């Protein structure tokens, strides 16, 4: 690996209830669980609705649009991410309602701010996985 090459991310390990998320990601589709009883989206994938506790959810393709709720610049990475630093991790308020933590890729630190608009993009991990990251919308 060259000095300027970013090391690959660790591959995710899907569970039986997160597999639809990763299947969508493989096709570059951002899938969220939707509670049929309340009409609300949820993230992260789980077997039950966070609103009702029932298993009455389905997967729907989401827009991938969001807003930066908060962020931090990571300068000392854990072992699996060494060589990628510095990088930005943000709490993203998704257009559909839930928040998710994700990398904000390719942003200049001085351009980052709370309330900035972001859109999902995908980083290829390997032939089986694309990983969701966000980029600033210009």
What is the predicted pLDDT for the residue at 8?
75
14 inside domain: no
Assess if residue 132 is contained within a domain.
yes
Residue numbers of the domain that contains 24: 19-136
- What is the average per-residue pLDDT within 85-98? 96
DSSP string, 55-119: S-EEEEE---EEEEEEEEEE-S--GGGTTS-SEEEEEEEETTS-EEEEEBTT--GGG--TT-EEE
The mean of the pLDDT values for the chain is 93
| Token output for 17 | 């209830």
- pTM given for the model: 0.89
Listed in sequence order, the residues at least 6 apart from 47 whose beta carbon sits closer than 8 Å to its beta carbon are 17, 55
**Does the residue 72 lie in any domain?**
yes
More confident residue, 120 or 107: 120
Number of domains observed in the structure of the chain: 1
């Amino acid at each position: 690996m060259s000095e300027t090459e970013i090391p690959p991310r660790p591959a995710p390990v899907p569970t039986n209830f997160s597999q639809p998320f990763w299947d969508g990601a493989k096709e570059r589709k951002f899938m969220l669980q939707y509670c049929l009883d309340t009409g609300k989206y949820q993230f992260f994938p789980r077997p039950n609705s966070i609103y009702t506790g029932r298993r009455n959810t389905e997967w729907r393709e989401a827009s991938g649009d969001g807003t930066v709720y908060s962020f931090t610049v990571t300068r000392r990475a854990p072992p699996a991410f060494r060589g990628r630093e510095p990088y930005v991790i943000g709490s993203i308020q998704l257009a559909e309602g839930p928040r998710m933590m994700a990398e904000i890729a390719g942003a200049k630190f001085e351009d980052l701010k709370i309330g900035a608009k972001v859109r999902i993009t995908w980083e290829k991990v390997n032939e089986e996985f694309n990983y969701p990251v966000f980029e600033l919308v210009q």
